């Protein structure tokens, strides 16, 4: 019997690749979540539907009411959603002294509050079934921080704290909570960077691909990772060794 996975922010980038890898694995139904880019979400839906049963649902995860609707719509289609991947995220670079309160709210509400809202919405059914997987997408910046990325770094560090605390809180119900901390991954958010210069600082000598994160998520969601809980898996090519 197929399990069901929800990936937030899965219309592009890392989320898109996670959705496609779960679809191709053959063991999951798929809930594709997006905020604005309906056309991109449809393209993911069309590709994923070749391999599994899937739906797409529009929702801004920073809004509790929309997350509740996301849960209700997903439940109507598939019933129990046993795996959630909190991938939706935004970034903004600049000196902290130049950042406004609105900038702070924009980043923290999506990255951290969104992860909280989604986990809180889906956890009761996981607790009822005494089974669940929560995978939160953090960042290497959540571990070490970065100049001109203060708010983003803080939001990703918060995700690590949320992951570790929640793992302790719900682990006794058969629910595993882990995080992935991607390093430099080639996406729309990084393609403007000097990739060659950055690759010189990565042990394996190259920037990562979205597939690298997707395969890590697929592993953490699987029974092969049944004894891994409350951990942060760094997928960074050895950047932080």
Instruction: Report, as residue numbers or ranges, the catalytic residues.
Output: 152
Give the number of other Cβ atoms within 10 Å of residue 206's Cβ: 14
Q: Give the C-alpha separation, 213 to 235, whole Å.
A: 7
With b meaning 16 or more CB within 10 Å and e meaning fewer, what string describes 152-180?
bbbbbbbbbebbbebbeebeeeebbbbbb
Asked if 168 and 175 count as a contact pair (C-beta separation under 8 A), the reply is no
Structure-token match 């997928």, residue found: 235
Taking the C-alpha atoms of residue 55 and residue 74, their distance in angstroms, rounded to an integer, is 8
């Amino acid at each position: 019997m197929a399990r069901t996975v929800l990936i937030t922010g899965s219309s592009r980038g890392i989320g898109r690749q996670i959705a496609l890898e779960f679809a191709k694995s053959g063991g999951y139904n798929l809930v594709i979540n997006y905020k604005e880019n309906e056309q991109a979400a449809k393209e993911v839906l069309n590709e994923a539907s070749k391999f599994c049963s899937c739906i797409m649902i529009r929702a801004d995860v920073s809004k509790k009411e929309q997350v509740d609707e996301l849960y209700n719509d997903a439940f109507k289609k598939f019933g129990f959603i046993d795996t959630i991947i909190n991938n939706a995220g935004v970034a903004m670079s600049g000196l902290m002294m130049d950042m406004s309160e609105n900038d702070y709210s924009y980043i923290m509400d999506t990255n951290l509050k969104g992860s909280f809202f989604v986990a809180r919405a889906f956890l009761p059914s996981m607790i009822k079934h005494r089974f669940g997987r929560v995978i939160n997408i953090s960042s290497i910046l959540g571990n070490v921080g970065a100049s001109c990325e203060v708010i983003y770094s803080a939001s990703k560090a918060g995700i690590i704290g949320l992951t570790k605390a929640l793992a302790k809180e719900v682990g006794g119900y058969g629910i595993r909570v882990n995080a992935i901390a991607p390093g430099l991954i080639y996406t729309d958010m990084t393609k403007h960077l000097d990739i060659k210069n950055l690759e010189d600082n990565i042990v394996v000598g190259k920037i990562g691909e979205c597939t690298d994160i997707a395969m890590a998520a697929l592993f953490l969601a699987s029974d092969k990772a049944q004894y891994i809980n409350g951990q942060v898996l760094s997928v960074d090519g050895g950047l932080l060794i």
